[in-house]
Amino acid sequence: MMRSKPPRLTEDWAEAVALQVLAYLLGDAQQISRFLSLTGSTPEDLRGIAGSRELQTATLEYLLSDEGLLLAFCQEAKIDPAMIGPAYQLLSGRIDD
């Protein structure tokens, strides 16, 4: 059985994952309510800033703050949970790609 090669960590990949996380949160009323509360955003704000670096990093940071949520998202999205931290670091400017 061959293991699939992990994706290359790029800004495009990290941005795509952040948008997947946002969509995942939008599917759970309790999680999106908590996320909006913590970020000070409104549902209307999300429409305008979904592609912004600030929202992308906030989304990944939120995911990283809850191990159960992280593991549930990664299982559904078929993403190695170990890739989320580096994606966050890349988008937040803490590492180079």
Q: What tens digit of pLDDT does each residue of 36-55 get? A: 999 998 888 888 887 899 99
What is the distance between the alpha carbons of residues 64 and 46, in angstroms, rounded to a whole number?
20
Q: What tens digit of pLDDT does each residue of 19-28 get? A: 999 999 999 9
Residue 3 lies in a domain: no
pTM: predicted TM-score of the whole model, two decimal places: 0.85
What is the distance between the alpha carbons of residues 63 and 71, in angstroms, rounded to a whole number?
9
Domain tally, the chain? 1
Residue 1 lies in a domain: no
Residue 72 lies in a domain: yes
Structural domain that includes position 77: 11-91
pLDDT of residue 47: 82
Residue 79 lies in a domain: yes
Residue 2 lies in a domain: no
Residue 39 lies in a domain: yes
